[in-house]
Amino acid sequence: MKNPTFILLILAIFLASCSKHKEVASKITYNDSTYIKIIAEDDFDSLVINTRYTSLFPFQPCLVQNIIITKTGIYKIGYRITKPELFEIAVSDTFTTYLLPADTLVIKVRIDKNAPGSSALYYKIDDPIYDYMQKELKKFGCYFLRHPLLFHYLNTKPTSQNEVERALLRIDSLQNTMLTFLDENKSNIPEWFIKIKENEYIYTSARLNFYQNFYFNNICLNGVFPSTNVAIYNPDAILSSAYFGFISDYFMLTYTDSKANTLEGPPRMIYLLNKAFPVINSKLEGDVLRYFNTGSSFALYLVSDSKEDIDIVDQFIETCDFGLNEDEKAFVNQKRLDAVKYVEGLKMTMLPGEKASSFHLKDNSGNIHTLSEFTGKIVYLHFWATWCGPCIKELPSINQLYEKIGNKPIVIINVCTDDKIDTWKQIINREKLKGINLICQGNWSDMLQKSYSIKGVPHYTLIDKNGLLIENACKRPSEIYNDLIVLLKDE
């Protein structure tokens, strides 16, 4: 066997059948997948290539597939997507690029037999979209969607109108900076990608502006739409997840009121959708409206964590005329089947009252912790990953929950499900992440994900003072505090 530290990786990436350099029709597809094909031209001791995908709309928590290469040959994995989506691919480090439906990303890997013993892993990619993303990373120190300003204003509540106005100025300034950068670097990249990036910058900025008003009004807008200077109906943005993420928040969260804030999961979404339907149907039309309705139906099943949830969604969809065609209905039904399998999987693993699966995981000082050492305290288990954008977004809420808990007999355990130790330490230090911070190494990630039926991260689980399961797939940190107090009173 050859030692992987002597590997020189040549990742010559090109697209078969449908080239990224060709224009893409501005329409959604429901019957296609994107594929990543690895052509290994040599044997390896063990070469692991990580691929990751998440989408803001239709909302999809992080999906991960790993390719483990040991022998010469062809390795292939697929993801079902409806439009161009952003993927992360990790070899020695992580890069991002957009993949298209009905397309194949080909990566060739081989060993440079003349490489010196100290040579490091590296890759080379001949792709203008990759080049643009790398320029963005080099210029700003991060990819746009991981810009600290985005996370800050998605999680920070302003306390005065002046703070709101200052925030809007900073957000608009970032948007203009990014649009200028795109204009200066758009040569040799396809038009569809330019449109996606334009809309990514514009509608992410609009979404941040919306959230500042949303938070300033104590997350109760009561049907009063904040002003916005972007187009609500924009068929030119139909390939943009940022666009649909914005209009989804704009329509639904505007109708938050005291009743909505007592609901969670599908009942909350259905309540808001019912309120918003008249405006949605008056503002949207054609393919944009149908894709919005398809994505909303998809999300209802995605957040269903029980048979009762699925039944509620079934009844709601049966009574609504979303105007979906057969492909769109089949797409939503597949997510329903996934939800049913997930609920059945929960029943086959741990039930409330059963012993929660334990672990032996290290903290950032190298000390090993087990679940049993927290006997006598309620445990709020938080599973996350360093590569997961939605996970990073939730970390400030973990800190806020920790502060609210104070000296109460409740412990927050943050379990990182990947083994990128350096990145993990950087994030927990940067975010000043409170609670017990642990990381999975070896087979612990697979074992815990199976034990707790984790279909996506972040994932939360409640365990009682005796180490027995209270609820798997429970509420988020911003929603769980009152439940924790009730549990303390009941004991």
User: At 66, which amino acid appears?
Assistant: N
Q: What is the pLDDT of residues 319-330, one digit of tens each?
A: 988 889 999 999
Q: Judge whether residue 4 has pLDDT over 80.
A: no
Q: What is the pLDDT of residues 338-394, one digit of tens each?
A: 888 877 766 556 678 888 988 989 999 888 899 989 999 999 999 998 888 778 888
265 vs 297, higher pLDDT? 297
Q: What is the pTM of this model?
A: 0.76
C-beta atoms surrounding 426 within 10 Å: 12
How far is the C-alpha of 425 from the C-alpha of 363, rounded, in Å?
A: 10
Give span(s): CATH 3.40.30.10, the chain: 360-490
- Quick one: pLDDT at residue 352? 83
Q: Judge whether residue 425 has pLDDT over 90.
A: yes
C-beta atoms surrounding 351 within 10 Å: 11
- Quick one: pLDDT at residue 125? 60
Mean pLDDT of the chain: 86
Give span(s): CATH 2.60.40, the chain: 4-126
Strand partners, 89: 51, 95
Mean predicted confidence (pLDDT) in 79-107: 86
Query: pLDDT confidence of 1, banded at 50, 70, 90?
Result: very low
The answer to whether domain 4-126 has CATH 2.30.31 is no
The domain 360-490 belongs to what CATH superfamily?
Glutaredoxin (3.40.30.10)
Percent above pLDDT 90 for the chain: 53
Mean predicted confidence (pLDDT) in 245-258: 95
Show the 3-state SS of 412-480.
EEEEECCCCHHHHHHHHHHCCCCCEEEECCCCHHHHHHHHCCCCCCCEEEEECCCCEEEEECCCCCCCC
